[in-house]
Amino acid sequence: MLNSVIQANPLREGLGSRTAPESCTLVIFGATGDLTHRKLIPALYNLAADGTLPPAMSVVGFARRDKTDDGFRGELREAARKFSRQGINEELWTSFATMISYHRSEFHDITGYESLAKRLDTLDATMGTRGNRLFYLAAAPDQFEVILENLRKSGLNQGKNGGWARVIVEKPFGTDLPSARHLNDLVEDAFPEADTYRIDHYLGKETAQNIMVLRFANALFEAMWNARYIDHVQITASEPLGVEGRAGYYDKSGALRDMVQNHLLQLLCLTAMEPPTGLDADAIRDEKVKVLRSLRPLEGAEVAKHVIRGQYGAGAINGKRVAAYRDEANVDPESATETFVALQINVDNWRWAGVPFFVRVGKRLPKGGTEIAVHFKSVPPVLFKATGEAVDDNVLVIRIQPDEGISLRMSAKMPGASLRIEPVRMDFHYGTSFGKATPEAYERLLLDAMSGDPTLFARRDEVEQAWKFVDAIHKAWAESSEDLNFYASGSWGPAEAEDLIKRHGATWRRL
Ligand SMILES: NC(=O)c1ccc[n+]([C@@H]2O[C@H](COP(=O)([O-])OP(=O)(O)OC[C@H]3O[C@@H](n4cnc5c(N)ncnc54)[C@H](OP(=O)(O)O)[C@@H]3O)[C@@H](O)[C@H]2O)c1
């Protein structure tokens, strides 16, 4: 049992229902890796600090390097100190660390899973974790197959004594539709869909969850959320960072696979979907899949017209010179990998007929941020025309990160004797409005998996449908790399991306 310093968990209010995380053992495959240090352990520690962990819990780190439990805990303590959103409290850490242990094994060694099974039985008896097992695949994707196979062969894919067994699979979930299907089949051989949790950490972000509340709990917005009132939608994810240490992965992936197939299409789905019949996981995911099925395919010649790809050249970020993508370590000097992509996506259904969704993502852009901007149609150019005053359109901006919040641009009369119209903003900031820090996405997602709530995880058909859309673009790109555009680091991407949105009579927002 957790030490008394950690409070018992209160019931947690989920998106759908009030659920509580259940006592369990979390086994992390790849526990000495970056994700565990930077995200998973800080998230678990924060949950412990907030008193939201289940009543009994243990964490077993699985990796191949030789380590003692104490050595492993010491490394994680450093990671939590560095990456936890609230720093660490020594007393709480000491109490939290008692639930952590290390299990050394190679992923391919079945005996390591057999000894793990025995260890989990002991933990059930000593920690009260009730035969419930949550397996987190925080390893390289090419290791997923062997881990899943060994979990199945060792019987670990079943809970013990009436308990459950669930699996969390990290991104990337495949590299195209065939590989995603193959991975889905492998997962399905070991775990039923209901026990499979495919991470898309954007869905765990508070503002992403708020999209549904904003739309369906406010008559003001939902009444206007359609082609009659909305001119277009812009979804942007920009970052000043380059490829950093991830070139090996990124050069094979590119922005479309890395960001659009998962995170940005998920944001598009939440923005465009119809009201679900309920707040349960399948009702919501059914509606998201319908959006994905309604995306007008971008194929053949349509790709060059509606998709702009770019790669960063040398330039300056915050006054500092940075190298071109092709000059980065471990990048092919002739690489045609896109570090920027802008797309015009059409959702061919009744609600969105004629409303383009402009989606853009890029590295080495001047500023970092992710947002959805809903641009409303112009008012009839009648009343204020004679005054010569320009009236800006209303724009509703949902800021996913950083400074999570929502703002609405409106027109207002400037004080004074003459009629001057200026844009003003109504702003809501999570940080100040609720007076508490928003939890990290991984905190929410880990709790949901412990509670058996897959609402914020991608379902098999969502993942496959999104790959189908993205694969068609890759197919066209594979036939020619002529349309790869270069942009200077520190700029907002290639000029062709500006032309794409200009054709609709709009311009990209500057974040
Ligand atoms: N890092 C992130 O911020 C991030 C973000 C999003 C998604 N992801 C995804 O999360 C997953 C993990 O990423 P990561 O950055 O944490 O990877 P990483 O730092 O390379 O860590 C890999 C882990 O796997 C273990 N491992 C490798 N081969 C093994 C083997 N044969 N047997 C046993 N253990 C083995 C390593 O253990 P040893 O140390 O013992 O070798 C290490 O613990 C990937 O799927 C990645 O795409 C990561």
Q: Which atom of ligand 1 is nearest to the CA of 31?
A: 43
- Joined together, the tokens standing for residue 213 give 């509340």
Q: Which atom of ligand 1 is nearest to the CA of 106?
A: 32
- Joined together, the tokens standing for residue 152 give 């199945």
Task: State in Å: Cα 172 to ligand 1 middle.
Answer: 12
Q: Report the candidate in 11, 84, 99, 90 with the shortest Cα–Cα distance to residue 43.
A: 84
Task: State in Å: Cα 39 to ligand 1 middle.
Answer: 12
Task: State in Å: Cα 102 to ligand 1 middle.
Answer: 15
Residue of the CA atom closest to atom 1 of ligand 1: 35
Q: Which atom of ligand 1 is nearest to the CA of 32?
A: 43
DSSP letter at 391?
-
Residues 6+ apart with CB under 8 A from 99: 2, 57, 58, 59, 127
What torsion do the CA atoms of 471, 476, 477, 480 make, to the nearest 10 degrees?
Answer: 160
**Antiparallel, parallel or unpaired: β 484-489 and 133-137:** unpaired
Which residue among 35, 36, 82 is best mutated to probe the pocket of ligand 1, counting the most ligand atoms within 8 A of its Cβ?
35
88, 96 Cβ separation under 8 angstroms: no
Please identify, in words, the CATH class of the domain defined by 203-377+457-502: alpha beta
361: enclosing H helix or E strand: strand 356-363
SS3 58: strand
Residue of the CA atom closest to atom 37 of ligand 1: 63
Residue of the CA atom closest to atom 39 of ligand 1: 32
Residue in the structure block whose two tokens are 């290390």: 102
Residue-wise pLDDT tens digits, 280-310: 999 999 999 999 999 999 998 999 999 999 9
What pLDDT was estimated at residue 2? 40
Task: State in Å: Cα 33 to ligand 1 middle.
Answer: 5
| pLDDT over 90 at 11, yes or no | no
| pLDDT over 90 at 8, yes or no | no
What pLDDT was estimated at residue 389? 77
Residue of the CA atom closest to atom 2 of ligand 1: 35
Q: Backbone dihedral region of 322: left (phi > 0), alpha (psi from -120 to 50 degrees) or beta?
A: beta
Q: Which atom of ligand 1 is nearest to the CA of 144?
A: 45
Average pLDDT over residues 480-494: 92
Residue of the CA atom closest to atom 6 of ligand 1: 171
77, 140 Cβ separation under 8 angstroms: no
Q: Report the candidate in 503, 468, 487, 499 with the shortest Cα–Cα distance to residue 238.
A: 487
What pLDDT was estimated at residue 476? 93
How far apart (Å, rounded) are the C-alpha atoms in residues 98 and 86? 20
Task: State in Å: Cα 32 to ligand 1 middle.
Answer: 7
Task: State in Å: Cα 29 to ligand 1 middle.
Answer: 8
Residue of the CA atom closest to atom 3 of ligand 1: 35
What pLDDT was estimated at residue 7? 44
Residues with CB under 6 A from ligand 1: 30-35, 38, 63-65, 106-107, 138-141, 143, 170-172
Question: Phi and psi (nearest 5°) for 197?
Answer: -125, 100
| pLDDT over 90 at 3, yes or no | no
Residues 6+ apart with CB under 8 A from 448: 14, 197, 204, 454, 455, 456, 457
Residue-wise pLDDT tens digits, 418-431: 888 888 899 988 87
How far apart (Å, rounded) are the C-alpha atoms in residues 136 and 36? 10
Average pLDDT over residues 190-210: 92
Residue-wise pLDDT tens digits, 135-172: 999 999 999 999 999 999 999 999 899 999 999 999 99
Calculate Rg over the CA atoms of the chain: 24
Which residue among 27, 28, 32, 258 is best mutated to probe the pocket of ligand 1, counting the most ligand atoms within 8 A of its Cβ?
32
| pLDDT over 70 at 195, yes or no | yes
491 residue type, one letter: S
What pLDDT was estimated at residue 15? 55
Q: Report the candidate in 506, 448, 488 with the shortest Cα–Cα distance to residue 195.
A: 448
Instruction: Give 271-278 contacts, CB < 8 A, sequence gap 24+.
Output: 271/211, 271/233, 271/235, 271/357, 271/372, 271/374, 272/233, 272/347, 272/351, 272/352, 272/357, 274/351, 275/215, 275/216, 275/222, 278/16
Which residue among 37, 108, 170, 241 is best mutated to probe the pocket of ligand 1, counting the most ligand atoms within 8 A of its Cβ?
170
273: enclosing H helix or E strand: none
Is 31 buried (19+), middle (13-18) or exposed (0-12) by CB count in 10 A?
A: buried
Question: How many degrees, rounded to 5, is the angle at CA 203 between CA 198 and CA 206?
Answer: 145
> How would you write 122-170 as a 3-class SS string?
HHHHHHCCCCCEEEEECCCHHHHHHHHHHHHHCCCCCCCCCCCEEEEEC
Q: Which atom of ligand 1 is nearest to the CA of 105?
A: 33
| pLDDT over 90 at 332, yes or no | yes
Q: Which atom of ligand 1 is nearest to the CA of 249?
A: 47
Task: State in Å: Cα 140 to ligand 1 middle.
Answer: 5
What pLDDT was estimated at residue 440? 87
DSSP letter at 214?
H
Domain 12-170: homologous superfamily in CATH: NAD(P)-binding Rossmann-like Domain (3.40.50.720)
Average pLDDT over residues 96-123: 97
Which residue among 29, 37, 64, 183 is best mutated to probe the pocket of ligand 1, counting the most ligand atoms within 8 A of its Cβ?
64
Q: Is 308 or 2 the better-scoring residue by pLDDT?
A: 308
Question: How many degrees, rounded to 5, is the angle at CA 218 between CA 216 and CA 224?
Answer: 85
Q: Report the candidate in 336, 312, 170 with the shortest Cα–Cα distance to residue 253.
A: 336
Q: Provide the residue ranges of all domains of the chain, joining segments of one domain with +.
A: 12-170, 203-377+457-502
Task: State in Å: Cα 246 to ligand 1 middle.
Answer: 12
Residue-wise pLDDT tens digits, 455-466: 999 999 999 999
What pLDDT was estimated at residue 382? 82
**Interhelix angle for 69-83 vs 41-50, to 10°?**
80
> How would you write 308-348 as a 3-class SS string?
EEEEEEEEEECCEEECCHHHCCCCCCCCCCCCEEEEEEEEC
- Joined together, the tokens standing for residue 504 give 């609709």
- Catalogue the active-site residues: 263
Q: Say what percent of the chain tops pLDDT 90.
A: 79
Q: Report the candidate in 47, 52, 49, 45 with the shortest Cα–Cα distance to residue 21.
A: 52
Residues β-bridged to residue 311:
486
498, 310 Cβ separation under 8 angstroms: no
| pLDDT over 60 at 5, yes or no | no
What torsion do the CA atoms of 386, 392, 393, 395 make, to the nearest 10 degrees?
Answer: -160
